[in-house]
Amino acid sequence: MTNPAATARLAGRREWTAFTVLLLPLLLVSMDVSVLYFAIPAITEQLDPSATQQLWIFDSYAFALSGLLITMGSLGDRIGRRRLLLTGAAAFGLASVGAAYATSAEMLIAARVLLGIGGATLMPSTLALVRNLFRDDKQRGKAIAIWSGAMTGGIALGSVLSGVMLNHFWWGSVFLINVPAMLLLLVLVPVLVPEFKDPAPGRFDLLSVPLSMAAVLPVVYGLKEIAAEGFEPLYLGCLAVGLAFGYAFVRRQRTRDDAMVARALFRARGFGAGIGLNTLAAFAMLGSAYFTTQYLQSVLGMGTLEAALWSLAPSVVIGAAAPVSAALAQKADRAYVIAGGFVLAAAGFALIGLVGTDSLWLLLTGAGVLASGIVTVMSLVSDMALGAAPAEKAGSAASLLETGTEFGGALGMAVLGSLGTAVYRGDLAGAEPAARETLGGAVATAHRIGGEAGEQVLTLAREAFVHGMQYAAWGGTALLLGAAVLAVALLRGTGAAPAPTPAAVPREHEAAYN
C-alpha cells in the first residue's frame, strides 16, 4: 500500500498565491458579521426601521448563511468548488451594492439575505479548495492555521473598519468595501485556482435542502433569542422543532445512496470528533465575546470605536498561536496539542473570571489567552477533519465544520449569556425593571435619573454584570477543561502528521491544471 502522505505533491508558489486570493472572501464574509455595529444609528435615522426590522437587519445575514451552509457545501462538490465560489462572489458583490444603496428597511433586509446566501457559498468553497490545493499534511496544516486566524481576525476587523468608514462616508460605504475585493476575486480565481469536484457525485437530493434548513434555522434562532430574552416557551419550541427536523434529516442521510451528507465522511475516526470539538471551541469563542464587548462599552464606558480598537488587541497573539500549534502537531500526538489548546483557552476564561469593574488589561490578557487556545483548537481540528474526509467530499466536510461553528457560537451566547443574566438579575432584584433587565437598560435608567442616585444605580449594575461575567467565565473554564479530557479520549493515537516527502503530482491534481 502507498502512503498518501508520501505521494503528496508539495504546493508551490502558484498554490500559495491562490491561497492568498482565497483569503479575500473569507475576510469579507467574517467582517460582514460585525460590519453593522456602528452603522445602525445612521441606518435608523435614514431608513426608520421598526424594532423588529432592525433586529432582522442584523440577523437575516447570519440566518441565511447558517441555513444554507450544508446545501452549498454539497452543491460545490457536484458542480465544482471554483464555480460555486465565483457564483457566490458575483452574488455577494451585487448584494453589497444593493445593501449600500437601500432606500428602505425592507430592501436592506433583502440585500442582507442575499449577502448571507452568497456567504454560504464562499465559506465552504474556500476551505474545501484549501483541502484540494494542499495535499501535503504539513502544508495543509499551516494553510488552515492561517485560514482560522484570518476568520477570527476578520470579525474584529469588521467593526473597526466600519467605524473608520463611517467617520468619512455615509453608512452604505461599509458594504461597498466588498465590491473591489469581489471584482479582484472574479479576475484572479479563474487564473490561479484550479477546479475541483466530485467525479461521481450522484443525484442531488432536493428534499434534503428544506430539511437541512428546517433543522438549522429554528435551532439557531431559538438559541440567539434565549441568549437575549431568556427561556421563553416560543424559543424552546423553536429548539424542539429544529431538533425534530434534524432527526428527520439525519435519518434521510443514513438511508439514501445519494445523501447530501455522505456517510463516508463519518467513517474516519477524526472527522466526527473534529466537528464536535470545533463546536465546543466556537461555544467558548462567541460565549466570551458576548461579555467582553459589553464590558468595554457599558462597564468601562468606552465609545464604540474606542471599544472596537481595544478589542483588536487580543488579535496580536492570535497570529502566532495557529502557526505554532501547526508546528507542534507535526512533532507530537495531535490529541495532546488540541487538549493543550483547550487548557490554554480555559486559563484565559479563568483570568476573565478574576476581572473587576476596572480591569481592562486583565480582561484583554484573558481574552488574548483564550483566543490563542481557541484558534489552536479550531485550526487543528479543522485540518484533522478535512484531512480525514475524502478529497471529493471536501465541500460537504467544510460545510459541516462551518455549521458546527454556527451552532456552537449560538449555543455559547445562549448558555453563558443566560448564566450571566441570571446572576445579574439576582443581584439587582430590587432595582427598576429596565435596569434589572440588561446592563444597557441600567445605563439608560441611570442617565434618566441623574445625580448621585443615577450613579449608584450604574455602579450596582456594573458590579452585577461583572459578577455574572465571572460566573459565566468559571462555567466556561470547567467546560473547556472537560473538552481537553474529551479531546485526549477521542483522538489519542491519531499521531502527528507524517513528514512530507516530495513526489510525483497525483493524477487527479495534475488533471485539474489542464
Instruction: Write the DSSP string, 307-372.
Output: HHHHHTTTHHHHHHHHHHHHHHHTTS-HHHHHHHHHHHHHHHHHHHTT--TT-HHHHHHHHHHHHH
Residues 6+ apart with CB under 8 A from 134: 11, 15, 19, 140, 143
Residue numbers in the chain where pLDDT is lower than 70: 1-8, 11, 30-38, 40-41, 51-52, 55, 152-156, 158-159, 163, 200-202, 227-228, 259, 263-264, 268, 304, 319-320, 322, 325-326, 329, 391, 493-514
Determine whether 451 is exposed, middle or buried from the number of CB atoms within 10 Å of its CB (0-12, 13-18, 19+). Answer: exposed
CB 138 within 8 A of CB 497: yes
CA 410, 412, 418 angle in degrees (round to 5)? 100
**Quick one: CA dihedral 266, 269, 270, 276, positive or negative?**
positive
Question: Distance between CA atoms of 398 and 394, rounded to whole angstroms?
Answer: 6
Q: Which one, of 171, 390, 403, 155, lies nearest residue 292 by Cα? A: 155
Alpha helices by DSSP H, listed for 35-50, are 40-47
Residue 354 pLDDT: 93
**Phi/psi at 28 (nearest 5 deg)?**
-70, -40
Determine whether 429 is exposed, middle or buried from the number of CB atoms within 10 Å of its CB (0-12, 13-18, 19+). Answer: exposed
Residue 34 pLDDT: 62
Residue 502 pLDDT: 34
Query: What is the Cα gyration radius of the chain?
Result: 23
**Phi/psi at 382 (nearest 5 deg)?**
-65, -45
Residue 343 pLDDT: 94
Residues 6+ apart with CB under 8 A from 274: 381, 382, 384, 385, 388, 401
Residue 485 pLDDT: 93
Quick check: helix, strand or coil at residue 500? coil
Question: Distance between CA atoms of 253 and 237, rounded to whole angstroms?
Answer: 24
Residue 345 pLDDT: 92
DSSP 37: T
Q: Which one, of 101, 68, 66, 249, lies nearest residue 174 by Cα? A: 101
Longest dimension (CA), the chain: 79
Residue 482 pLDDT: 93
Residue 4 pLDDT: 45
Residue 156 pLDDT: 67
H or E element: which one contains 397? Answer: helix 394-427
Question: Distance between CA atoms of 248 and 270, rounded to whole angstroms?
Answer: 25
Q: Which one, of 417, 283, 268, lies nearest residue 346 by Cα? A: 283
